[in-house]
Structure 1
């Protein structure tokens, strides 16, 4: 019996992705062992944080790093760092940044909600979000003309949640930041390449530790040394209520050390999702296909288009039935409003795609016979 079942909680089959709401990742034995061993011992936390920064630097190619309790905390901490630097008096003022350079420029279509809003994370760090352009159309001039003596940084959100068309590229925004000698921050929370944006020249890059890295609930910031030192100092200020414990840092370090040996499993994803779509081929009212992630990542999901007139229920109704069961099956539902559900193979345990196909067919059959 699983740990959560022992607590009386429902079993969950996560076909949604590395989602915070579902516990992000199931960690490896090595990462779990690091969590356990750290939890049962003591360490000088400041010393551990500095050591973790050096490990983050090693695996990202950055000058230094800072562990966090998650990527959202990383946005707040990174924002505070570009406003305060290492000035302790300013650090202790945040998020009160009145009179300081505190404006953070972000393209309008990237001011998204990921469970909370990007803008709120910026404000927690003392920043004032400045949205530029329109949701699906941003010109370089929109960015340039928003820069004032109050500008603290430019922020780019690399995410499937963000508008993917009509916006300015990361390269363009970074060029503008460098021309104006402003720090350029990249939120790459769910990205799989932990070196790409540092190689490109970003000053600060933020990642989740519990998504592509498959570590515990945690996060990391990497970048220029002066900013990473300022980030770590935020734990004397706004970072304090979002501190990461010794267990999280130990698990993050273990996950970073494992990551380079992780194999690309795109072919396996396609094979498993092909099996799922074939199992649903005779399900009335469903049209299934395999789609690559909309943000271009090497993720291949099964897409299920629900024709309510034939299926006997809408995609939203099917989703609700799946989530209400035991096991509770969570599908990716960003496009449920247009009748589309998706199955993400990455978090699925062995054979769970068979359970999903069986449950979908059972629910549809019940609905069509009632």
Structure 2
């Protein structure tokens, strides 16, 4: 019996992905042991933070790194770092940055809600959000013309939540930032490649430690040495409210060292999701196919279209009935408004796709 079931909480089948609301990732035994060992011992936190920063640098190819309690904290800390630097008096002013160079330029279609607002995370770090262009169309000129003597950085949000078309590319934003001598920040929270954006030339890149990395609840910032020193300094200011503990840092280090040993299991994902689709196709009104992740990652999900006219159930109704059960089944529901539900195979334990198929068939058959 799992710990949560022992506590009287419902069993969860997570088919929605590495979602914060469901605990992000289930860690390996090695990471779990590292968390336990760290929790039962003592360390100089500053020394551990510096050591963790070195491991982050080794893993990402960056000059240096800074651990955080999550990617959202990484946005706030990175914002504070490009505004206040290592100046303690300014660090202690964050988020009050009136009169300072504090504007952060973001494309309008990337100011998304990921469980909280990207804009709010920037504001916590003292940034004044400058959104450019329109929700579905941004021109290079929009970015260029937004730059003033108050601009502190340009930020790019690499996320499935963000608008995927009509935005300017990373390369374009980076070129503009470099030409104007401004830091370029990429929020790559759920991305799988921990070296790509540093190799491209980004100054600061932010990742979640609990998503693709499958580490504990944590995050990491990597980038230029002086900027990472400034990020670590923010723990004397706004970062104190989002401090990262010894357990998370040790777990993060362990996860980073394990990550190169992992292999993509695309073929297995496709096989499992094809099996699910074959079962669901027996229900009139359900159309199921295997689709690659919208952001181009090596993730292959089952995409289920629920025809309300034929099934008598809306996709939203099916979703709620699955979530209300025990075990509670959580599907990916970003497109539920157009009748589409998705199953992410990555968090599923062996055979759980069969339970999902069985429960969907039971619900739609009136069982």
User: Which TM-score applies when normalising by structure 1?
Assistant: 0.99
Displaced runs of 4 or more, over 4 A? none
Q: Deviations over 1:279-326 (max 9, x none)?
A: 111012100001111111111000000001111210000000000000
Distance apart, 1:195 and its partner CA: 0.1
Match of 1:122 in 2: 122
Match of 2:342 in 1: 342
User: Hey, what does 2:22 align to over in structure 1?
Assistant: 22
Q: Distance in 2 between matches of 1:235 and 1:7?
A: 34
1:6 correspondence with 2:38: no
Alignment match, 2:229: 229
Structure 1 segment 60-99 matched on structure 2, within 5 A:
60-99=60-99
Residues 1-370 of structure 1: matches in 2 within 5 Å? 1-366=1-366
After superposition, what is the alpha-carbon deviation per residue over 1:227-266, rounded to whole angstroms, capped at 9, x for unaligned?
0000001000000010010000010000000000100111
Distance 2:159 2:110 in 1: 8
Aligned length: 367
CA distance in 1 between counterparts of 2:266 and 2:211 reads 16
Q: State the SS of the aligned residue for 2:346.
A: coil
RMSD: 0.6
Partners of 1:237 and 1:45 in 2: CA distance: 16
Q: Following the alignment from structure 1 to structure 2, what is the Cα–Cα distance between the partners of residues 335 and 292?
A: 15
Q: Which digits, 9 at most, give the CA deviation of each residue in 1:131-153, with x for residues without a partner?
A: 00001110000000000000000
Deviations 1:62-86 (A, max 9, x none): 0000000000000000000000000
Which ranges of structure 1 fall in alignment gaps of 5 or more residues?
A: none
Q: Equivalents in 2 of 1:165, 1:281: separation in Å?
A: 31
CA distance in 1, matches of 2:312, 2:133: 43
Aligned to 2:238, the other structure's residue is in SS state: coil
Q: Aligned partners of 1:2, 1:165: CA distance in 2, in Å? A: 42
CA–CA distance in 1 between the matches of 2:60 and 2:102? 28
Q: Given the two structures, how large is their TM-score scaled by the length of structure 2?
A: 0.99
Name the CA distance, whole Å, in 2 between partners of 1:264 and 1:299.
Answer: 9
Q: Deviations over 1:193-228 (max 9, x none)?
A: 000000000000000000000000100000000000
Gaps of 5+ in 2: none
